[in-house]
Amino acid sequence: MGQQSLIYSFVARGTVVLAEFTEFSGNFNSIAAQCLQKLPASNNKFTYNCDGHTFNYLVEDGYTYCVVAVESVGRQIPIAFLERVKEDFNKRYGGGKAATAAANSLTREFGSKLREHMQYCVDHPEEISKLAKVKAQVSEVKGVMMENIEKVLDRGEKIELLVDKTENLRSQAQDFRQHGTQMRRKMWLQNMKVKLIVLGIIIALVLIIILSVCHGFKC
- 3-class secondary structure for 125-183? HHHHHHHHHHHHHHHHHHHHHHHHHHHHHHCHHHHHHHHHHHHHHHHHHHHHHHHHHHH
- 78-128 tens-digit pLDDT: 999 999 999 999 999 987 889 999 999 999 999 999 999 999 998 888 887
Would you state the pLDDT for residue 182?
76
Mean pLDDT value across residues 36-58: 90
Q: Is the pLDDT of residue 60 over 90?
A: yes
Full set of structural domains in the chain with CATH: 3-123 (3.30.450.50)
- 150-201 tens-digit pLDDT: 555 555 544 444 555 555 556 666 665 676 677 778 778 887 888 888 888 8
Query: What is the value of pTM for the model shown?
Result: 0.61
Would you state the pLDDT for residue 159?
42
